[in-house]
Amino acid sequence: MTSSAPSAASAEKKRIHPTSVFMRAHPAHLLALGFGSGLPRIMPGTFGTLFGWLSFNVLTWRFPEVFTPWTWAFLISVGFMLGIWACNVTGRNLGVADHGSMVWDEIVAIWLVLLFVTPASPSMQLAAFLIFRLFDMAKPPPIRQIERRFKDGFGVMIDDLIAAFLTLLVIAIWIRIV
């Protein structure tokens, strides 16, 4: 086998895109793919973040007595732990540890951001969404270093959690200045 064969195999694995059939084949896939929000071929992370934003607002508005800040804190914690498992399983089954279609990390991270900016105006939530997406896509230090150091489910989940914390830091500074 030539030295180019492993990279060709890696490139082929990255081109594999999950389908709804793959998503429904295992509960971990359903969770990791954000209940289908990660299936679009273009910008799945943005679609996953939008799903997280929408689900947070709908659940908080529709069931305010159930979805309190304490409930969200619990769901975010449990969601993070389940995400490690789900992204491990799904990444292994896709053959790519951090496949772009796995968006549970974006969902949990935007829930964390929204937990700290809610109640807020829609424009403040939009700003939080945009800042988070910027950090998640650009991966400035320390996000990129953490992403390189940690692999599998934990690595998938932790870099978005760091992006959420950086988003909250920017918002806190912005509020302080304005």
What is residue 177's three-state secondary structure? helix
Distance CA 56, CA 114 (A): 8
Is the Cα dihedral 81, 87, 92, 98 positive or negative?
A: negative
Count of alpha carbons within 13 angstroms of residue 51, beta-carbon side: 23
Is the Cα dihedral 169, 172, 175, 178 positive or negative?
A: negative
What is residue 140's three-state secondary structure? coil
pLDDT of the residue at 15: 63
pLDDT of the residue at 151: 83
Nearest-5° angle of CA 87, CA 93, CA 98? 45
pLDDT of the residue at 124: 93
Distance CA 89, CA 79 (A): 15
In single-letter form, the type of residue at position 52 comes to G
pLDDT of the residue at 147: 84
Distance CA 133, CA 143 (A): 13
Instruction: Classify residue 97 by its DSSP letter.
Output: T
pLDDT of the residue at 1: 43
Radius of gyration of the chain (CA): 17
pLDDT of the residue at 121: 87
157 token code pair: 């989940």
Residues of the chain short of pLDDT 70, as ranges, are 1-15
